[in-house]
Amino acid sequence: MTPRLLLTDVGWRVGSQQILEGVSFAAAPGELIALMGRNGAGKSTLLDLLAGMWQPCRGEVQLDDRPLHKWSSAERARKIGHLPQAIHPTAPFTVEQLVLMGRYPYADQWFESDADRAAVTRAMARCGCEHVRTRRVATLSGGERQRVLLAACLAQDAGLLLLDEPATFLDVDQQLHCFTLLREEAARGATCIAVTHDINLALTFCSRVIVLSDRTIAHDAQTAGALEHPEWLELFSSRLQITTTPEGQAWVCYR
Protein backbone atom coordinates (compact mmCIF):
# COMPACT_ATOMS: atom_id res chain seq x y z
CA MET A 1 0.00 0.00 0.00
CA THR A 2 1.26 3.48 -0.89
CA PRO A 3 2.13 5.35 2.30
CA ARG A 4 0.16 8.45 3.15
CA LEU A 5 3.11 9.84 5.09
CA LEU A 6 6.79 9.32 4.34
CA LEU A 7 9.68 10.70 6.40
CA THR A 8 13.21 10.50 5.08
CA ASP A 9 16.18 11.34 7.34
CA VAL A 10 14.28 14.12 9.11
CA GLY A 11 16.18 16.31 11.54
CA TRP A 12 15.38 19.36 13.66
CA ARG A 13 17.56 21.59 15.80
CA VAL A 14 17.08 24.70 17.89
CA GLY A 15 20.26 26.73 17.86
CA SER A 16 23.05 24.30 18.71
CA GLN A 17 20.64 21.80 20.31
CA GLN A 18 19.82 18.82 18.11
CA ILE A 19 16.26 17.70 18.90
CA LEU A 20 15.70 15.08 16.18
CA GLU A 21 18.00 13.46 13.63
CA GLY A 22 17.76 10.66 11.11
CA VAL A 23 14.03 10.05 11.64
CA SER A 24 12.64 7.89 8.83
CA PHE A 25 9.41 5.94 8.62
CA ALA A 26 6.31 5.48 6.47
CA ALA A 27 2.70 5.48 7.67
CA ALA A 28 -0.12 4.01 5.62
CA PRO A 29 -3.89 4.58 5.58
CA GLY A 30 -5.60 2.50 8.25
CA GLU A 31 -2.74 2.64 10.76
CA LEU A 32 -3.14 3.80 14.35
CA ILE A 33 0.40 4.49 15.53
CA ALA A 34 1.40 5.21 19.11
CA LEU A 35 4.29 7.67 19.21
CA MET A 36 6.07 7.15 22.51
CA GLY A 37 9.22 8.01 24.43
CA ARG A 38 10.42 9.67 27.60
CA ASN A 39 9.87 13.33 28.34
CA GLY A 40 11.98 15.47 26.02
CA ALA A 41 12.40 12.73 23.41
CA GLY A 42 11.00 14.99 20.68
CA LYS A 43 7.51 13.57 20.26
CA SER A 44 5.66 16.90 20.18
CA THR A 45 8.34 18.39 17.94
CA LEU A 46 7.93 15.54 15.48
CA LEU A 47 4.14 15.97 15.39
CA ASP A 48 4.59 19.69 14.71
CA LEU A 49 6.91 18.88 11.81
CA LEU A 50 4.37 16.41 10.43
CA ALA A 51 1.66 19.06 10.71
CA GLY A 52 3.74 21.46 8.62
CA MET A 53 4.18 23.99 11.41
CA TRP A 54 7.92 23.98 10.71
CA GLN A 55 10.08 22.70 7.90
CA PRO A 56 12.75 20.17 8.89
CA CYS A 57 16.32 21.41 9.10
CA ARG A 58 17.26 18.23 7.29
CA GLY A 59 15.45 15.55 5.31
CA GLU A 60 11.92 15.62 3.98
CA VAL A 61 8.33 14.90 4.93
CA GLN A 62 6.02 13.78 2.13
CA LEU A 63 2.23 13.68 2.27
CA ASP A 64 0.52 11.64 -0.45
CA ASP A 65 3.74 11.51 -2.52
CA ARG A 66 4.21 15.28 -2.40
CA PRO A 67 6.68 17.22 -0.22
CA LEU A 68 4.76 18.69 2.68
CA HIS A 69 6.26 22.16 2.22
CA LYS A 70 4.72 22.32 -1.26
CA TRP A 71 1.20 22.03 0.15
CA SER A 72 -0.50 25.36 0.84
CA SER A 73 -1.79 26.01 4.35
CA ALA A 74 -5.36 25.66 3.06
CA GLU A 75 -4.55 22.31 1.45
CA ARG A 76 -2.86 21.06 4.63
CA ALA A 77 -5.89 22.08 6.68
CA ARG A 78 -8.07 19.76 4.61
CA LYS A 79 -5.61 16.91 4.79
CA ILE A 80 -4.28 17.12 8.36
CA GLY A 81 -6.08 17.24 11.68
CA HIS A 82 -3.69 18.34 14.45
CA LEU A 83 -4.41 18.31 18.18
CA PRO A 84 -1.41 19.92 19.94
CA GLN A 85 -0.35 19.01 23.46
CA ALA A 86 -1.68 22.04 25.32
CA ILE A 87 -4.49 24.31 24.19
CA HIS A 88 -6.28 26.52 26.68
CA PRO A 89 -8.86 28.55 24.75
CA THR A 90 -9.64 31.78 26.54
CA ALA A 91 -11.71 33.49 23.83
CA PRO A 92 -15.45 33.61 24.58
CA PHE A 93 -16.39 30.82 22.16
CA THR A 94 -19.11 28.30 22.79
CA VAL A 95 -18.37 24.61 22.39
CA GLU A 96 -20.29 24.50 19.12
CA GLN A 97 -18.39 27.49 17.74
CA LEU A 98 -15.05 25.93 18.61
CA VAL A 99 -15.89 22.58 17.02
CA LEU A 100 -17.17 24.43 13.96
CA MET A 101 -13.66 25.86 13.53
CA GLY A 102 -12.66 22.36 12.50
CA ARG A 103 -14.79 22.91 9.40
CA TYR A 104 -13.16 26.20 8.47
CA PRO A 105 -11.06 24.63 5.65
CA TYR A 106 -14.30 23.73 3.88
CA ALA A 107 -16.25 26.91 4.62
CA ASP A 108 -17.36 29.37 1.95
CA GLN A 109 -15.76 32.46 3.46
CA TRP A 110 -17.51 32.83 6.86
CA PHE A 111 -20.61 30.80 6.02
CA GLU A 112 -20.96 27.21 7.12
CA SER A 113 -22.99 24.71 5.12
CA ASP A 114 -25.52 22.10 6.19
CA ALA A 115 -22.74 19.53 5.70
CA ASP A 116 -20.49 21.51 8.06
CA ARG A 117 -23.18 21.68 10.75
CA ALA A 118 -23.91 17.97 10.34
CA ALA A 119 -20.20 17.13 10.70
CA VAL A 120 -20.01 19.21 13.89
CA THR A 121 -23.08 17.57 15.41
CA ARG A 122 -21.75 14.14 14.53
CA ALA A 123 -18.30 14.85 16.00
CA MET A 124 -19.73 16.23 19.25
CA ALA A 125 -21.98 13.20 19.61
CA ARG A 126 -19.07 10.83 19.07
CA CYS A 127 -16.96 12.63 21.67
CA GLY A 128 -19.79 12.89 24.18
CA CYS A 129 -19.83 16.67 24.39
CA GLU A 130 -23.12 17.55 22.67
CA HIS A 131 -24.73 18.26 26.04
CA VAL A 132 -22.35 21.22 26.56
CA ARG A 133 -22.63 22.64 23.04
CA THR A 134 -23.94 26.02 24.26
CA ARG A 135 -21.43 26.34 27.12
CA ARG A 136 -18.48 28.71 26.94
CA VAL A 137 -15.29 26.72 26.46
CA ALA A 138 -13.62 28.63 29.30
CA THR A 139 -16.18 27.20 31.76
CA LEU A 140 -15.37 23.56 30.99
CA SER A 141 -13.28 21.17 33.04
CA GLY A 142 -10.00 19.94 31.62
CA GLY A 143 -11.54 16.64 30.52
CA GLU A 144 -14.56 18.30 28.95
CA ARG A 145 -12.35 20.73 27.06
CA GLN A 146 -10.16 17.89 25.78
CA ARG A 147 -13.20 16.09 24.37
CA VAL A 148 -14.32 19.30 22.65
CA LEU A 149 -10.89 19.78 21.07
CA LEU A 150 -10.93 16.18 19.87
CA ALA A 151 -14.38 16.77 18.38
CA ALA A 152 -13.04 19.79 16.48
CA CYS A 153 -10.24 17.62 15.14
CA LEU A 154 -12.60 14.83 14.06
CA ALA A 155 -14.97 17.33 12.43
CA GLN A 156 -12.25 18.07 9.88
CA ASP A 157 -12.66 14.60 8.32
CA ALA A 158 -8.93 14.68 7.58
CA GLY A 159 -6.98 11.74 6.21
CA LEU A 160 -4.08 12.30 8.61
CA LEU A 161 -4.74 12.80 12.32
CA LEU A 162 -1.90 13.94 14.58
CA LEU A 163 -2.84 13.93 18.25
CA ASP A 164 -0.51 14.92 21.06
CA GLU A 165 -1.62 13.14 24.23
CA PRO A 166 -5.32 13.14 23.26
CA ALA A 167 -6.29 11.34 26.49
CA THR A 168 -4.85 14.08 28.73
CA PHE A 169 -7.26 15.06 31.56
CA LEU A 170 -9.66 12.24 30.64
CA ASP A 171 -10.94 9.71 33.18
CA VAL A 172 -10.34 6.03 32.51
CA ASP A 173 -13.61 5.42 30.67
CA GLN A 174 -13.07 8.48 28.48
CA GLN A 175 -9.48 7.42 27.73
CA LEU A 176 -10.81 4.11 26.44
CA HIS A 177 -13.48 5.93 24.47
CA CYS A 178 -10.91 8.32 22.99
CA PHE A 179 -8.72 5.53 21.66
CA THR A 180 -11.78 3.63 20.45
CA LEU A 181 -12.64 6.69 18.34
CA LEU A 182 -9.11 6.79 16.94
CA ARG A 183 -9.32 3.11 16.06
CA GLU A 184 -12.61 3.84 14.28
CA GLU A 185 -10.93 6.65 12.33
CA ALA A 186 -8.16 4.28 11.28
CA ALA A 187 -10.77 1.71 10.25
CA ARG A 188 -12.35 4.26 7.90
CA GLY A 189 -8.94 4.72 6.25
CA ALA A 190 -7.37 7.59 8.16
CA THR A 191 -3.74 7.52 9.26
CA CYS A 192 -3.62 8.28 12.99
CA ILE A 193 -0.50 9.08 15.00
CA ALA A 194 -1.13 9.62 18.71
CA VAL A 195 1.41 10.54 21.37
CA THR A 196 0.76 8.66 24.60
CA HIS A 197 2.65 7.66 27.73
CA ASP A 198 0.21 4.83 28.47
CA ILE A 199 1.86 1.68 27.13
CA ASN A 200 -1.17 -0.49 27.81
CA LEU A 201 -3.46 1.85 25.88
CA ALA A 202 -1.01 1.61 23.00
CA LEU A 203 -0.83 -2.19 23.14
CA THR A 204 -4.62 -2.48 23.36
CA PHE A 205 -5.71 -0.05 20.65
CA CYS A 206 -2.80 0.77 18.37
CA SER A 207 -1.54 -1.29 15.46
CA ARG A 208 2.05 -0.07 15.78
CA VAL A 209 4.39 1.53 18.29
CA ILE A 210 7.18 3.96 17.42
CA VAL A 211 9.50 4.92 20.28
CA LEU A 212 11.81 7.92 20.17
CA SER A 213 15.06 7.89 22.12
CA ASP A 214 18.41 9.67 21.70
CA ARG A 215 16.86 12.00 19.10
CA THR A 216 15.78 9.27 16.70
CA ILE A 217 13.62 6.15 16.32
CA ALA A 218 14.79 3.45 18.71
CA HIS A 219 11.91 1.02 18.22
CA ASP A 220 9.31 0.61 15.47
CA ALA A 221 7.18 -2.52 15.45
CA GLN A 222 3.65 -3.83 15.22
CA THR A 223 2.00 -4.12 18.63
CA ALA A 224 1.04 -7.70 17.81
CA GLY A 225 4.72 -8.61 18.18
CA ALA A 226 5.26 -6.86 21.52
CA LEU A 227 5.99 -10.14 23.30
CA GLU A 228 8.65 -11.18 20.81
CA HIS A 229 11.16 -8.46 21.73
CA PRO A 230 10.19 -7.05 25.16
CA GLU A 231 13.58 -5.34 25.60
CA TRP A 232 12.08 -2.18 24.07
CA LEU A 233 10.48 -1.52 27.47
CA GLU A 234 13.94 -0.61 28.76
CA LEU A 235 13.61 2.58 26.74
CA PHE A 236 11.03 3.70 29.31
CA SER A 237 12.05 2.11 32.61
CA SER A 238 13.86 -0.89 34.03
CA ARG A 239 10.80 -1.51 36.24
CA LEU A 240 8.53 -2.73 33.45
CA GLN A 241 7.80 -6.21 32.22
CA ILE A 242 5.38 -7.62 29.66
CA THR A 243 2.94 -10.32 30.70
CA THR A 244 -0.30 -11.50 29.14
CA THR A 245 -3.95 -11.16 30.02
CA PRO A 246 -6.17 -14.29 30.30
CA GLU A 247 -7.17 -13.54 26.69
CA GLY A 248 -3.54 -13.72 25.59
CA GLN A 249 -3.08 -9.98 25.03
CA ALA A 250 0.23 -8.33 25.87
CA TRP A 251 0.07 -6.30 29.06
CA VAL A 252 2.71 -4.23 30.91
CA CYS A 253 3.17 -4.64 34.64
CA TYR A 254 5.19 -2.53 37.05
CA ARG A 255 7.85 -3.95 39.36
pLDDT tens, residue by residue, 9-55: 999 999 999 999 999 999 999 999 999 999 999 999 999 999 999 99
Average pLDDT of the residues of the chain: 93
pLDDT at 85: 79
Query: CA-CA distance, 136 to 97, in Å (whole number)?
Result: 9
Is there a contact between 223 and 230 (Cβ–Cβ < 8 Å)? Answer: no
Residue 94 DSSP symbol: B
User: Is 167 a residue whose pLDDT tops 70?
Assistant: yes
Instruction: Using a cut of 0.85, tell me whether the model's pTM lies above it.
Output: yes
- What are the backbone dihedrals phi and psi of residue 81, each rounded to the nearest 5 degrees, phi first? -105, 125
* Contacts for 255 with CB less than 8 Å, ≥ 6 apart: 239, 240, 241
Domains and CATH numbers, the chain: 5-254 (3.40.50.300)
pLDDT tens, residue by residue, 78-121: 999 999 876 666 668 899 999 998 898 887 666 678 888 999 99
pLDDT tens, residue by residue, 218-249: 999 999 988 888 999 999 999 999 999 898 88
User: Is 60 a residue whose pLDDT tops 90?
Assistant: yes
Query: CA-CA distance, 24 to 215, in Å (whole number)?
Result: 12
Query: CA-CA distance, 145 to 125, in Å (whole number)?
Result: 14
